Amino acid sequence: MRVRSSAVKVSIFAAFALAGALLLAVPSAAGAQAQHERPPADKGPHEPHPEARAAIDRLKSPYCPGFMLEVCPSPQAAALRDSLDMLARQGVSTDSLVAWVLANHGDTLNALPPARGRDLVAWIVPPLAVLLGVAAVVIVLRRIRRPRELPPPEEVSEAERQRLEEALRELEAEEETPL
């Protein structure tokens, strides 16, 4: 009986091993065939047109809230990036590409505020705040490093000098006295 159960276990193991080998061989053969069918011009990810790249860098993704269009992993965002690239290759400018996306998907996708009107504040305040912060740090460091001026020493009167000498004599007398 024991021999029979061992033989069954070996047969089951062999069947699984053969099935696994077949499963691993089929996709790799299909992948090799697909590689040979691929045209030689398609090597690696294709680089978008510079106008499309500039437009993509200025837009938020309409499909991934909180992400820029450049890094949004959704297929719709990839299609939008491809559309922008195609339009840029046809001669459309960066500003026109951005305007096209904003017209089709809404003004909230503009990652950069316009440099005019009230939105100009968004361009002026951050650099100004950095400059003021650096100036404040420089001023504080200069004040910390500057030596403080001590008030001029006060003159000691003759009566105070006699009291001080008397106190010093008493202290010396106490130190000399054995306990």
pLDDT tens-digit profile, the chain (179 residues): 444 555 555 556 655 655 555 555 544 444 444 444 444 444 446 788 899 999 999 899 999 888 998 899 999 999 999 999 999 999 999 889 999 998 888 888 888 777 778 878 888 889 999 999 999 999 999 888 877 777 777 888 889 889 999 999 999 888 887 76
CATH number of the 50-112 domain = 1.10.8.640
- pTM to 2 decimal places: 0.47
Tokens at residue 161, please? Answer: 């000098």
Neighbours of 106 (CB within 10 A): 11
Supply the DSSP string of 51-108, one letter for each residue: HHHHHHHTBB-SSSTTSBTTT--SHHHHHHHHHHHHHHHTT--HHHHHHHHHHHH-GG
